[in-house]
């Protein structure tokens, strides 16, 4: 199992070193919250801040979310778990950030927990990977020997549903939505400002939390994130009404992988699939 204390120590050590040497001006990691179960996203800007850094099994936040907030050229160190590192890769693909300005503090981890349920977070709600895909420093031992479970296995039950039942399932889910937009706040890929749903020209949907507007918001968001979502599951954990958004994102990711033979956030050489094409793409994908 992961030695969380050890990682916290290493994280502090690295943060201190990087800030002291001036290699970076900010370290994006996790800070103390009101209790152990609720650590906070934390930006350490000085050596003194480092004391506030924590790492435990509840440090789920995808800190890549905050990268785009800093002016271009800011030197940033960021703590990245597996999915977080994929978000960083995806943002590099999209030219929102540059690798040369980043120090990736890789965290291999197994046994992260959802503070709401205390259940272990695994491939059912995230990509299920344990080791960061891209890092500069590794803060713990790489996780090996775990049984590999496809992050898409969880979909089987929903794919098997009759289409009317599936519609009812999603309609019920979307009807719960209170349009707090926590999902997009938590999402590392939702950096649009303004978000389409907040616009009045054109007005894509009603702003009120009612069924048609909710559906328009979510379906369009799924499309905007198609081939870009890195399956960190943060949107769903952030959702106060527990809409299993991760399921839909996983399904779209699975389809994109099948259609375009590319997995999001795995290589900085890739181009996002929906702003790309191959001449040999098959018309079968339209069937």
Binding site for other proteins (CB under 8 A): 72, 94-96, 158-159, 161, 163-171, 191-196, 199, 201-202, 204, 212, 215-216, 219-220, 222-224, 226-227, 248, 251-252, 255-256, 259-260, 271-279, 281, 283, 285-286
**Rounded Cα distance, 252 and 262, in Å:** 12
To the nearest whole angstrom, how small is the minimum distance from the Cβ of residue 121 to other proteins?
Answer: 23
To the nearest whole angstrom, how small is the minimum distance from the Cβ of residue 185 to other proteins?
Answer: 15
CB nearer other proteins, residue 38 or residue 271: 271
**Rounded Cα distance, 38 and 56, in Å:** 10
**Rounded Cα distance, 29 and 42, in Å:** 5
CB nearer other proteins, residue 137 or residue 215: 215
CB nearer other proteins, residue 68 or residue 266: 68
Q: Phi first, then psi: what are they for 214, rounded to 5°?
A: -60, -45
To the nearest whole angstrom, how small is the minimum distance from the Cβ of residue 149 to other proteins?
Answer: 21
Within a 10 A sphere around the Cβ of 281, how many other Cβ atoms? Answer: 13
**Rounded Cα distance, 279 and 268, in Å:** 22
Is the distance from CB of 270 to CB of 262 less than 8 angstroms?
Answer: yes
To the nearest whole angstrom, how small is the minimum distance from the Cβ of residue 252 to other proteins?
Answer: 6
To the nearest whole angstrom, how small is the minimum distance from the Cβ of residue 123 to other proteins?
Answer: 19
Query: Do the bridges between strand 40-44 and strand 76-80 make them parallel or antiparallel, or are there none, so unpaired?
Result: unpaired
CB nearer other proteins, residue 145 or residue 202: 202
To the nearest whole angstrom, how small is the minimum distance from the Cβ of residue 141 to other proteins?
Answer: 37
**Rounded Cα distance, 89 and 211, in Å:** 35
Q: How many helices (H) and strands (E) does the chain have?
A: 8, 5
**Rounded Cα distance, 236 and 147, in Å:** 24
């Amino acid at each position: 199992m992961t030695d969380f204390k050890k990682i916290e120590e290493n994280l502090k050590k690295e943060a201190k070193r990087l800030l002291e040497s001036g290699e970076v001006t900010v370290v994006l990691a996790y800070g103390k919250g009101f209790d152990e179960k609720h650590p906070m996203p934390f930006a350490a800007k000085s050596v003194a801040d480092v004391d506030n850094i924590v790492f435990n099994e509840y440090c789920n936040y995808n800190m890549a979310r905050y990268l785009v907030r800093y002016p271009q050229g800011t030197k940033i160190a960021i703590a990245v778990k597996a999915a977080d590192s994929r978000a960083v890769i995806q943002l590099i693909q999209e030219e929102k950030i540059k690798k040369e300005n980043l120090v990736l503090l890789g965290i291999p981890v197994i046994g992260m927990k959802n503070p709401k349920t205390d259940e272990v977070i695994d491939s059912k709600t995230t990509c299920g990977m344990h080791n960061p895909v891209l890092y500069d420093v590794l803060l713990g031992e790489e996780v090996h020997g775990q049984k590999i479970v496809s992050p898409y296995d969880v979909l089987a039950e929903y794919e098997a549903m009759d289409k009317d039942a599936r519609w009812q399932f999603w309609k019920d889910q979307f009807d719960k939505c209170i349009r707090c937009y926590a999902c997009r706040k938590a999402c590392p890929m939702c950096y649009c400002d303004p978000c389409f749903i907040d616009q009045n020209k054109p007005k894509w949907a009603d702003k009120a939390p009612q069924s048609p507007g909710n559906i328009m918001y979510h379906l369009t968001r799924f499309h905007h994130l198609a081939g870009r979502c890195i399956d960190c599951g943060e949107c769903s954990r952030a959702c106060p009404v527990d809409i299993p958004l991760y399921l839909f994102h996983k399904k779209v990711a699975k389809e994109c992988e099948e259609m375009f033979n590319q997995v999001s956030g795995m290589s900085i050489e890739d181009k996002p699939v929906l702003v790309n094409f191959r001449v040999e793409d098959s018309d079968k994908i339209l069937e």
